[in-house]
Amino acid sequence: MTIFVTGGAGYIGSHTCVELLQNGHNVVVYDNLSNSSVEALKRVETITGKLITFIIGDIRDESSLTQAMQGCDAVIHFAGLKAVGESVAKPLEYYDNNVQGTLCLLRSMQTNSIKTLVFSSSATVYGDPESLPLREDHPLRTTNPYGQTKLVIEDILRDLYRSDNTWQIMILRYFNPVGAHESGLIGEDPQDIPNNLMPFIAQVAIGRRENLNIFGENYPTHDGTGVRDYIHVVDLAHGHLKALEALTSPQCTAINLGTGIGYSVLDVVNAFSKASQQSIPYIIAPRREGDIAACYADPSKANTAIGWSAKRNLDQMCHDAWNFQSKNPTGYK
């Protein structure tokens, strides 16, 4: 199949392109490079020995999008803005980019009679969990504009399917993607100061930042620090391939992609320190506004619906994140 991948130059998109190419699919990447580098795509070609068709463009440019996806069989939609704090400061940008962009994408798909879609959602749509582990039928609500864009898009997709039940839609709710491809050629390359834990730790380990701030030490968790379900990005990428392959009949299905295991901030610091053989100096800082104590998936639906489960453990995640960081101390630059 030929897969149209919006945001394919980004962190999760580039790893998914590797999976697609290695499994015999053709890939057309459509990305405006607002948070990524074309270098990532060159490296995907190096890893796979296959060529990517790359079109630079914005998903809000409907005519360019409609033309670019001609001849494709399915769409994986990663393109979007993803920083929670920034979304609070710039909500209109987030609604415009994520929601308006997705509306353009869906209309372009209709124009091209493409009705198979895999969409990047997030565990953020569960808000502060009422119960753990999180199942897909947990109530949906969000606490910030970024999360709200994901929930609105999910609702749009459910409404679209209700209006036309020939669509084949898989909504993937990611938990906390971390790590990098085992080659060390592609990985997470934050443009600014990292918001997320693992890339921040990696930059402390390489000496780009002095210390980690641990946001809160008195949560009701096993050691007082926040607990999350970290998932290796290569497992996540594989989940997209499985989701696509499972889309052989009309549906609109939401699935968690997580490991089901919760690790604390201190667990991650210790595992990263072991994997990198570096010390990770940290200080205890106040809680970050909007953070929750614990969040981890019940990943069993992914197993039954698409035949997928995560394979890589926390040590592997830290090893591969460090491998990418140490081979690319300044990212793709």
Interaction site with ligand UD1 (CB under 6 A):
82, 84, 122, 124, 147, 176, 195-197, 200, 212-215, 226, 228, 265, 288, 290-291
- The one-character DSSP state at 135 is P
Peptide bond into 133 cis (omega under 30): yes
- Give the residue at shortest CB distance from ligand UD1: 226
Sites for ligand NAD among residues 85-114 (CB under 6 A): 97, 101
Which helix (H) or strand (E) is 107 found in, with range?
helix 101-111
Contacts of 219 (CB under 8 A, 6+ apart): 225, 226, 227, 287, 293, 294
Closest CA to 44 of 34, 56, 54: 54
CB of 310 to ligand UD1, least distance (A): 16
Asked if 47 interacts with ligand NAD (CB under 6 A), we say: no
Residue 12 contact partner, candidates ligand NAD, ligand UD1, none, CB within 5 to 8 A by sort of partner: ligand NAD
Residue 80 contact partner, candidates ligand NAD, ligand UD1, none, CB within 5 to 8 A by sort of partner: ligand NAD
- Strand-pairing partners, residue 31, are 56
CB of 7 to ligand NAD, least distance (A): 3
Asked if 273 interacts with ligand NAD (CB under 6 A), we say: no
Tokens read off for 239: 């989940």
Query: For ligand NAD, which is the closer residue by CB, 107 or 162?
Result: 107
From the candidates 146, 161, 230, 263, give the one annotated as an active-site residue: 146
Q: Which of 19, 31, 235, 267 touches ligand NAD (CB under 6 A)?
A: 31
With b for 16 or more beta-carbon neighbours within 10 A and e for fewer, the 284-295 pattern comes to eeeeeeeeebbb
Residue 97 contact partner, candidates ligand UD1, ligand NAD, none, CB within 5 to 8 A by sort of partner: ligand NAD
SS3 47: helix
Tokens read off for 90: 């710039």
Residue 94 contact partner, candidates ligand UD1, ligand NAD, none, CB within 5 to 8 A by sort of partner: none
**DSSP conformation letters of 141-179:** --SSHHHHHHHHHHHHHHHHHHH-TT-EEEEEEE-EEE-
CB of 234 to ligand NAD, least distance (A): 13
Q: Is 146 a catalytic residue?
A: yes
Interface residue list for ligand NAD (CB under 6 A): 6-7, 9-13, 31-36, 58-60, 78-82, 97, 101, 120, 122, 174, 177
Could you give the residue numbers annotated as active site?
146
